[in-house]
Structure 1
Amino acid sequence: MLLILAAQLIVFAGETFSGGSENGLVLLQWGAKFNPMVKFGQWWRLITPVFVHIGFMHILVNSFTLYYIGGAVEEMIGHWRFFLVYFLSAISGNLMSFAFGGNALSAGASTALFGLFGVYIALGIVFDDSYYFKQTGRQFLMLAGLNLIFDVFAQGIDIWGHIGGLVGGFLLIIAFALPGQKLRKGVIWQIGASALFLAICAFLYWLGMVR
C-alpha cells in the first residue's frame, strides 16, 4: 500500500512540475483515461489513471483514503491479494467508465478505492456469521451508497468508474478468498466470481470499443 501511495504522490509531483495537475495536456501525458485514445489502442489508459490525480484536493482525499482503508484491507487480506484487488478493481472501474462514460478526461484512485469498499461489503455477505464482517459490511455499503448519491449530483465525478470498481472489488475478494479461510460454498463461489469478473470486463471492453 505504501508503495502505491508513494507512486501516486510522485506522479502528482510530476504533473505539477510538467505544467499543473489540472492541465488537460499534462493529464494525458501522465496517463489519464481518454476514451478515444483507448479506442486507438492505448489500452494502458485503463490502468494508469489510478496514479493520476486532478488538483490538490483530489490527491489529498484519495491518499488519506488509501492510507487508512487500504492499510486495513492489506493487513486483513495480505499483500498479494491487496495488490490484485486494488489494480483489478481500478481496471474494472475504468472499463465501466470506458463503456458508459463520455469522452471527458478521467483519472484518480477512486476506482480502486471503491473496490476496497466492495471488499468489505462482500465479506459482510459471505461471512455473515461474523459480527465484525457483518457490521463493517453494512457500514461500507452505506458509505458506498452515500458516495454514489453524491456522485449523481456532483459535477466532474465519474460515477461509472466508481460503480465498476465497487463491483470489481466485491467479486474479486470472493474469487481470492481470505488467507486461511474457506468459503462455505468453497471453490464453486471462487470460480463463479472469477468467471463473472472476467466476463463483465470483456463485455465492457467490447461495448466501449463499439460505441
Structure 2
Amino acid sequence: MRKIQQRPWATYVILIIQLVVFGWEIFKGGSQNIAALLASGAKVNSLVAQGEWWRLVTPIFVHIGWQHILINSLTLYFMGQQLEFLYGPLKFSIIYLLSGIGGNLMSFAFGSQNSISAGASTSLFGLFGLYVALGIIFKNNQVIRQWSQQFLILIVFNLVADIFIGDIDIWGHVGGALVGFLVGWIITIPQMKNALPKLWRIISTVGLIVLAIVLYRIGVVRA
C-alpha cells in the first residue's frame, strides 16, 4: 500500500492529459495546424481579452509539434516525481497549475496579441522558480541550496536562449518562474509546515493576487 501511495500519480495524470490533448490535435488536423491548436485551447491574447479566459489554463496541456511535447513531457516526468514526493499530489498539482496560469497571464499582458502560444513550459518554469524559492527558505540545507543554484542558472540560461531563438514565448517563461517562486513561499512542504514565517506567506499570497489582477488588466487594456 505504501508503494502505491508514493507513486507520482498527479504527474502521471498530467502526462496522460497532455498526451490525450496532443492526440486530439492530430485528429483535428495536426499539432501545428492553427485551427487544430485553437480548437484544442491554445492561447491567443485577443481571444482571451474577448472573454475566453479558459485559454489561460488550457494551453498548459497543448503542444506544438512532436519535439515540443517530448521535451516537456520528459522534463515533467523527472521533475514531477521529485516534487510530488515532497509536496504530495494535491499541492504539486496546485503549484503546477498556478505556475502555468501565471505564465500565461504574463504572456497575455506583454505578449503579441494575435500569436498562438501553448505548452507546459510555463508550468515547468514555475517548478524551476519553486526550486529557487526552496533554496532560500531552506538555506541551511546544502543539498536543497545546490539544487536551487542549479535551477537559477537553468532559468537564466533558458531566458537568454529565448531571446535569440524565434517563436518562443519568453514572457510565459518569465511569468511561470516568478509565480512558481512566489508559490514556493505560500505552499509548505507537509513535513516542514513550520519552516516559513506566517508573515512571509501572507505577503507572498497578497503579492500573487495583486500580480494576477495587474497582469490581467494590462492584457485587457492592450487588447
Task: Work out the CA distance in 2 between the residues paired with 1:184 and 1:93.
Answer: 27
Please name the residue that 2:153 is paired with.
Answer: 142
Aligned to 1:99: 109
Within-5 A mapping of 1:95-174: 95-103=105-113, 104-174=115-185
Distance 1:195 1:27 in 2: 34
Is residue 62 of structure 1 aligned with residue 72 of structure 2?
A: yes
Q: Is the aligned partner of 1:50 residue 2:72?
A: no
Q: Secondary structure at the match of 1:180?
A: helix
Q: Structure 2: where are the runs of 5+ without partners?
A: 1-10
CA 184–14 in structure 1, closer or farther in 2 if over 3 Å, else same: closer
Identity %: 49
Among 4, 15, 21, the residue aligned to 2:31: 21
Aligned equivalent of 1:194:
205
Alpha carbons of structure 1 residues 76 and 184: separation in structure 2 relative to 1, 3 Å = closer
Tell me the TM-score normalised to structure 2 length. Answer: 0.93
Distance 2:220 2:101 in 1: 15
CA distance in 2, matches of 1:184, 1:86: 21
CA RMSD of aligned residues (A): 0.9
Residue 135 of structure 2 aligns with an amino acid whose one-letter code is G
Amino acid at match of 2:120: A
Given that residues 87 and 190 in structure 2 are in contact (C-alpha distance below 8 angstroms), is that contact kept between their aligned partners in structure 1? yes
Q: Distance in 2 between matches of 1:75 and 1:130?
A: 18
Letter in 2 for 1:120: Y
Runs of 4+ residues deviating >2 angstroms: 182-185
Unaligned runs of 5+ in 1: none
Paired residues, what number?
211
